[in-house]
Structure formats: C-alpha cells, structure tokens
Amino acid sequence: MSDLPVRRTSLFAEHVRLGARMVPFAGWEMPIQYTGIVDEHNACRNAAGLFDVSHMGELALDGPLAGEVINERITNDASKLAVGQALYTCACNERGTVLDDLIIYRAAPGAWMVVCNASNRDKIVAVFETAAKGRCGFTDRSDATALIALQGPKAFDVLDRAGGDAAKLRELSPFGFRDAIVCNLQTTVARTGYTGEDGVEIFVAWNDAPVLWRQLLELGADLGVKAVGLGARDTLRMEAKLPLYGQEIDDTTHPLEAGLAWVVKLDKGDFVGRSALIAAKEKGLTRKLVGFEMVGRGIARHGYELLNSEGVVVGTCTSGSPSPTTGKNIGIGYLPTELAAIGSQFLVNCRGKHIEAVVAKTPFITKKRPSSVGYSKV
C-alpha cells in the first residue's frame, strides 16, 4: 500500500454536499455512489449522468516534432488526425503489452494533448517526457485541469441550456473537440465518453470545475440528470464492453487479444512494441477477451476462474456484475480462442460453485448513437 496521501479533486466539496460515499481510488478520494449504483446507472442510460473524472492525467506536447514523438509511442496513427480530432489508442512496451490506454488530441498543427489513466499518470509522464526530451516541449497539465463528463441521451439538451457556444456542440463529430464557452466558463469539449452513451467530456480550469458542476446539475435537474459515481461508471462501461486498465488490459496483455486490434496500425511505421505485435499476430492468438452472460444463478467477479466443461481452468474473469439495463448477470474475461465464439458454453468458479455461462454478443447493450463514441479513460 502506498504511503502517499490520498488526493482530492476540486469537486470534493460538491461530492460531500451531495451525500456521496467517498472511497480511495488510484490515489484519489472519489465518489463511489450518491443515491445508489442502479439509480445512477439508469439516470445515465435514460437521461444523463455527470461524472467527476478530474483524477485523469493531461499531458501537453508542442512543437513541429510533437506529433512524431507521440506516434512513436502509440499503436494507433496520430498522423491521420486533423486539428480538432482525437483518437483512442494504446501505449505499449517493447513486449507489445499495454502500458496504458490513452486518448490523443490534436489542438493545433504543433499542439497535442495526451489523456491517461490516473493510476498510470507517473508512468506515462515518464514515457512522454523522456521521448520529448530534445525534440519537443512537454508539460504535465494534470494539476491545473479538471475533467467533467456529461453522458446520456439528454446530455446535449443540457448543453443547449448552458449558453455561450454550448448549443453548437451537437455539431461535433465522434472524437471531435473544440474550445467553447459553457456556463460562462472557458472550456474544451470533446465528444467522447466511457459509458456507451452519447455525450461529452469537458476540460476546464481546476478551480472553475465546481461552478461548472453545479450549473450543469441545475440545468439538467428537470430532465433527470444526476451525479454518477465510480460504481455506476463501472456497470455502464461493462455493458458497453469498454476495457478498464488493471482488469481487461495491463502489462501482461497485448491489444490484439484484448479486442483492440482496430487501434493497432502495424503499417504506419515503427513504434514501441510493433515488432512484438507483428510476431503475436503471425503466431496467432491463443486467447481472446469475450463478454459473457451467466446461465446459472451466480455473479462473476474480477479474478474468478473460467473453466471448460471438464472443470479445467482455462481463463479468468476480468470484470463482472449484474447489468441494470439487461437484467442479466454479465461478465468480461479471457478464454482460449476455441471457446471464444458467441454461444460457447463454459463454467465460472463462483466461490467454489461452478456456474454455467455462455459467450454473448457484445456490447451487451445497443444504443442509437454516433459511431465510435464510447472510449475514454479511467
């Protein structure tokens, strides 16, 4: 356990005011729930949810070579980005396993931002600060930047009421972003998220976040908008089968087996981990990340063993929970490729009881929303 003090975002007092139950998370004291996980989950699915994700890391790289420096450290191809566009990607080590999953933003021809997981901030800062040395500028802006996510089918209805440029934000394409005045505050708004819903993530100055938070909640109160904690954030992302670093992906997994081949551009030129990923692709996958539903009575949890019909351990559950939207008990985990097809049956070791499960089509929910909306950070 770390001896470092637990940090608080600039919204801590707002969470306390709303009666949130606070818990340690990735070195931060964060809200796990306010009114209850199911209630908050359903608010996001049916109206909109407001999330404090200010614990994330924001790293700025600038200069003519900044894009090249970034592209050498990520699996996706940042050179394809126009100004005002972002992309989801992984950063790998030389073994081709995942150091972190990131979103890369191109704000100007020579101005870029990398958003990383709170738990990986020190590691990713070291990666990009070292890569930038002598080639481009580097600044860790995390401590000056707050991040608030507004997610759900009524998210843009709330923004329509927020004045300034907010009503124009509907024009953003998925993974598009722009500077905008929202609630009389200078912000940068991206059409990204981590819930499977449409919506935005709003970057704002650290000390301005409480005003933005309160006003968005007030503007959306009659629409059913609620503050949402980490508990419902987890069930929302599981229903959308979005990976969580430290569970679905980490430095023991590579993106190909995690279903992230679409963010690996092996033909873009060299990047860290490319040779290892080429070798893994040529060798063929031995396991795949799948979504599954429990057939028998039981709830799969992180770390539970997955077994074949003979009771032999063949995989691991990475995430599992009751699904408020589907009413089923769902899970995500790694299975051998021969058991990874939709409809394949296997067993989950639920505290000594072997419960039947079946590989399911994912995402577990289907929403009519702009293509590709749904990847963000933790």
Written as tens digits, the pLDDT of the chain (378 aa) is 455 679 999 999 999 999 999 999 999 999 999 999 999 999 999 999 999 999 999 999 999 999 999 999 999 999 999 999 999 999 999 999 999 999 999 999 999 999 999 999 999 999 999 999 999 999 999 999 999 999 999 999 999 999 998 989 999 999 999 999 999 999 999 999 999 999 999 999 999 999 999 999 999 999 999 999 999 999 999 999 999 999 999 999 999 999 999 999 999 999 999 999 999 999 999 999 999 999 999 999 999 999 999 999 999 999 999 999 999 999 999 999 999 999 999 999 999 999 999 999 999 998 655 443 444 443
From 216, 218, 184, select the one nearest 200 (Cα to Cα).
Answer: 216
Whole-number Å distance between alpha carbons of 164 and 305: 52
27 and 118 Cβ atoms separated by less than 8 Å: yes
Q: What local confidence, expressed as pLDDT, does residue 373 receive?
A: 43
Edge to edge, what strands does the sheet with 85-92 contain? Answer: 85-92, 98-108, 111-116, 57-62, 137-140
Delimiting residues of CATH 3.30.1360.120 domain(s) in the chain: 12-53+144-239
Q: What local confidence, expressed as pLDDT, does residue 366 receive?
A: 83
Q: 208-241 b/e with 16+ CB inside 10 Å = b?
A: bbbebbebbbebbeebebbbbbbbbbbbbbbbbb
Q: What local confidence, expressed as pLDDT, does residue 3 receive?
A: 58
Q: What local confidence, expressed as pLDDT, does residue 14 receive?
A: 98
Q: What local confidence, expressed as pLDDT, does residue 1 receive?
A: 42
* Residue whose entry in the numeric block shows the structure tokens 């985990």: 333
Q: What local confidence, expressed as pLDDT, does residue 367 receive?
A: 67
- Within 10 A of 12 (CB to CB), how many other CB atoms are there? 19
CA angle 42-320-334, nearest 5°?
Answer: 135
Taking only Cα atoms into account, the Rg of the chain, rounded to an integer number of angstroms, comes to 20
pTM: 0.95
Whole-number Å distance between alpha carbons of 136 and 72: 13
196 and 367 Cβ atoms separated by less than 8 Å: yes
Delimiting residues of CATH 2.40.30.110 domain(s) in the chain: 286-360
Give 12-53+144-239's CATH code, choosing from 3.30.390.30, 3.40.50.300, 3.30.1360.120, 3.30.43.10: 3.30.1360.120
- Within 10 A of 5 (CB to CB), how many other CB atoms are there? 8
What are 108's strand-pairing partners? 111
Cis amide bond preceding 31, omega within 30: no
Q: What local confidence, expressed as pLDDT, does residue 5 receive?
A: 77
CATH 2.40.30.110 for the 286-360 domain, yes or no: yes
